[in-house]
């Protein structure tokens, strides 16, 4: 994700407009620079299908970006962080795992095309 005030080198300028995060209105900036785990996961998902993710991550590491999701990786202080914990204290007791069971749809409710 290219920060608005960031000055690009000529080689970076060639690929930077092809990113999936570039929409011309900077509407995705909040997503790529959020502290929320859900937003970080969504930003990484956008990068997963980006044609210039490799170039983006290389530029971020080369420029030692202070933070944000770049090329599908979370970068903090110019380095890739593999795991980000949620803010605050961890719970005393582990949270229960939420299991969602899919209920099969009865055949008489399925419409044929």
Report field, pTM of the whole predicted structure over 0.85: no
Q: What pLDDT, on a 0 to 100 scale, did the predictor assign at position 95?
A: 65
Is there a contact between 76 and 67 (Cβ–Cβ < 8 Å)? Answer: yes
Q: What pLDDT, on a 0 to 100 scale, did the predictor assign at position 36?
A: 84
Domain boundaries, the chain: 10-81
Backbone phi and psi for residue 53, each to the nearest 5 degrees, phi listed first: -60, -40
Q: Of 27, 65, 59, which is closest to residue 46 (Cα–Cα)?
A: 27
Is there a contact between 3 and 16 (Cβ–Cβ < 8 Å)? Answer: no
Q: What pLDDT, on a 0 to 100 scale, did the predictor assign at position 4?
A: 47
The per-residue DSSP string of 25-74 comes to: S-TTHHHHT---HHHHHHHHHHHHT-TTHHHHHHHHHHTT-SEEEETTEE
- The helix (run of H) or strand (run of E) holding residue 13 is helix 10-16
Residues in the chain: 113
pLDDT tens across the length of the chain (113 residues):
555 455 667 777 778 888 888 888 888 889 899 988 888 888 899 999 899 999 999 999 988 899 999 999 999 988 888 877 666 777 777 766 655 455 566 777 666 55
């Amino acid at each position: 994700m290219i920060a608005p005030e960031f000055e690009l080198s000529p080689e970076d300028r060639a690929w930077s407009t092809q990113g999936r995060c570039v929409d011309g209105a900077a509407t995705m900036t909040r997503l790529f620079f959020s502290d929320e785990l859900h937003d970080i996961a969504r930003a990484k998902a956008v990068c997963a299908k980006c044609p210039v993710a490799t170039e983006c991550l290389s530029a971020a590491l080369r420029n030692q970006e202070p933070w944000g999701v770049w090329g599908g990786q979370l970068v903090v202080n110019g380095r890739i962080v593999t795991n980000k914990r949620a803010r605050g204290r961890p719970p005393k007791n582990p949270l229960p795992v939420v299991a969602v069971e899919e209920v099969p749809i009865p055949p008489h409710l399925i419409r044929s095309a």
